[in-house]
Amino acid sequence: MKPLSIYVYGAEQICASCVNLPSSKETYEWLQAAIARKYPDQPFQIEYIDIFNPPAEKAKQEFAKRVVEEDLFYPIILIDDKIVGEGNPKLKTIFAEMETHGYTPAS
């Protein structure tokens, strides 16, 4: 099983359509803890990316620009370039995608 790359694209400011939801950063921290509990000792990397200040990598800059230009609901959760969550992400959807990559939930 290869380690999955999970990206949480978001911003400090909560999106207008996402009032009363956790911030992107809070979602990132919650997701990191939930995945680690569900899939202990299985390799994954999770990274938070600020859509208004993305890292220098071209792919990350382009996706961050797309989020802003297309007015997508953030945070947006990507697993290996596939959107698995938007605005208020669902753990069930994220876990289902991880399991298609061979991850096994803890019993």
Helices 91-100, 24-38: axis angle to 10 degrees equals 50
CB neighbourhood size of 34 (10 A): 13
Sheet holding 44-50, edge to edge: 44-50, 4-10, 76-79, 82-86
What does the block give as tokens for 44?
Answer: 């994954």
Please tell me whether the overall predicted TM-score, pTM, comes out greater than 0.75 for this model. Answer: yes
pLDDT tens, 17-66? 666 778 899 999 999 999 999 999 999 999 999 999 999 999 999 999 99
Cα–Cα distance measured from residue 64 to residue 7, given in angstroms and rounded to the nearest whole number: 11
Closest CA to 10 of 21, 23, 22, 24: 24
pLDDT, position 80: 87
Task: Report, as an integer, the average pLDDT of 70-95.
Answer: 92
